[in-house]
């Protein structure tokens, strides 16, 4: 199986020994504490899960700036996005050397991790602008990732952490949330050595389904990891439990048994386009995957990125040899009325617009909200039924 990024073995920061963890939980109650941001809590979950191997905790400003500007920490480790614990006011933990981090996403703000404080640094406005511009390629505050990144404060608390739990992900998604080390173990048990990962924050329609099948066949992989984001999304995106149910139904009915492993990870979406695509590649390598499908507008939002910027960054900006994982470059896929199947659009030259089945996200939402069936060429009927039930529910109207 492929080695993790930056080390021979995976080093998750979750304290797995029950007695040691109980001891730390008790210690944490007596430490100075601070409620961290949702982004920092997601970083803690990813560090604890082994997805962010070989990082040992939150970056300092020098490392975050190095990562933003040239995708390398001060020590030279390749990394695509800053991993920070940024707060608005560090007064509650000022001068403390060891602190407890409280989870903003769980009632009562329980302690999610203990951090050894190496530094508390104020990030200047120029540094925030540089990181924003480099990571998101825009400073437009209408961009949801830019807005989130610039709303949490400007004091960075850096240092190693010990993770005590996985926030709400393990309790709300017990059948789906999995750590990188658990995924590695399961894939070894499956006998999978060559694995392609599919990243999703949306339900999977026919085109996504076929794209997984195309990559699986073209690469000759042993299996497919369908890996969904379980954290916070922008308003209007479909909740994780609905996505989970629809994806499981699709895999159950339309993929060979034991060819797909469906899991999820605990992280808030960045919507950082190319940079986030590289981050996806890093932590899929840590899962043990050998390939990642990178499609049209991967991890993008709106019109901030070109349709294939998330592919070209791997050729133009990622230093050669930085990753062992390889990407599978996918074009837009859609149902061809001529060929009566889903294909990559760049594979044919004799099609006009009328030869494809296209539905915008807005059109899909309107149809489902009105109880209208989606075309079978676009979505499996069993998947469409789950989505329709959601869109016609009170939850979708809130």
Active site amino acids: 201-202
CB 190 within 8 A of CB 223: yes
Pairing of strands 341-344, 326-329: unpaired
CB 147 within 8 A of CB 246: no
Q: Tell me which residue has tokens 């997601």.
A: 42
Helix axes 61-70, 125-136, angle to 10 degrees: 40
Nearest to 379 by CA among 396, 394, 357: 357
Nearest to 44 by CA among 355, 240, 372, 268: 268
Residues, the chain: 398
CB 201 within 8 A of CB 229: yes
Q: Residues 225, 236, 41, 144: what is their CA dihedral angle, to the nearest 10 degrees?
A: 110
- Residue 335 tokens, joined: 């149902």
- Whether cis (ω within 30° of 0) applies to the bond prior to 51 is no
Nearest to 234 by CA among 280, 300, 287: 300
CB 336 within 8 A of CB 355: yes
Question: Whole-angstrom Cα distance, residue 321 to residue 203?
Answer: 33
Residue 193 neighbours by CB distance under 10 Å:
14
Question: Whole-angstrom Cα distance, residue 272 to residue 84?
Answer: 16
List all residues 6 or more positions away from 290 whose beta carbon is below 8 Å from its beta carbon.
Answer: 2, 193, 194, 195, 196, 221, 324, 325, 326
């Amino acid at each position: 199986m492929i080695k993790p990024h930056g080390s021979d073995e995976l080093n998750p920061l979750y304290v797995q020994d029950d007695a040691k963890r109980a001891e730390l939980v008790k210690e944490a109650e007596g430490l100075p504490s601070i409620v961290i941001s949702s982004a920092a809590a997601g970083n803690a979950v990813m560090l604890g899960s082994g997805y962010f191997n070989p990082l040992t905790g939150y970056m300092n400003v020098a490392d975050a700036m190095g990562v933003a500007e040239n995708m390398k920490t001060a020590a030279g480790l390749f990394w695509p996005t800053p991993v920070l614990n940024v707060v608005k006011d560090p007064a509650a933990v000022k001068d403390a050397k060891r602190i407890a981090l409280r989870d903003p996403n769980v009632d009562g703000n329980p302690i999610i991790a203990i951090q050894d404080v190496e530094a508390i640094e104020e990030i200047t406005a120029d540094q925030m602008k540089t990181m924003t511009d480099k990571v998101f390629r825009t400073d437009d505050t209408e961009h949801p990732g830019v807005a989130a990144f610039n709303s949490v404060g400007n004091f960075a608390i850096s240092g190693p952490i010990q993770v005590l739990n996985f926030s709400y992900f393990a309790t709300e998604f017990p059948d789906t949330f999995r750590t990188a080390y658990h995924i590695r173990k399961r894939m070894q048990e499956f006998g999978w050595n060559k694995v392609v990962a599919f990243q999703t924050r949306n339900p999977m329609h026919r085109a996504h389904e076929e794209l997984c099948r195309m990559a699986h066949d073209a690469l000759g992989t042993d299996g497919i990891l369908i890996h969904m984001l379980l954290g916070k999304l922008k308003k209007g995106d479909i909740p994780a439990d609905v996505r989970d149910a629809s994806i499981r139904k699709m895999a159950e009915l339309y993929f060979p048994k034991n060819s797909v492993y469906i899991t999820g990870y605990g992280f808030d979406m960045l919507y950082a386009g190319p940079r986030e695509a590289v981050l996806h590649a890093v932590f899929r390598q840590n899962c043990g995957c050998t390939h990642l499908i990178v499609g049209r507008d991967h991890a993008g939002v709106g019109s901030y990125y070109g349709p294939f910027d998330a592919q070209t960054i791997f050729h133009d900006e990622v230093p050669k040899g930085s990753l062992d994982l390889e990407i599978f470059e996918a074009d837009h896929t859609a149902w061809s009325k001529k060929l009566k199947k889903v294909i990559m659009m760049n594979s044919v030259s004799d099609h006009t617009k009328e030869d494809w089945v296209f539905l915008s996200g807005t059109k899909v939402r309107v149809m489902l909200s009105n109880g209208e069936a989606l075309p079978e060429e676009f979505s499996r009927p069993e998947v469409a039924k789950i989505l329709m039930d959601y869109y016609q529910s009170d939850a979708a109207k809130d």
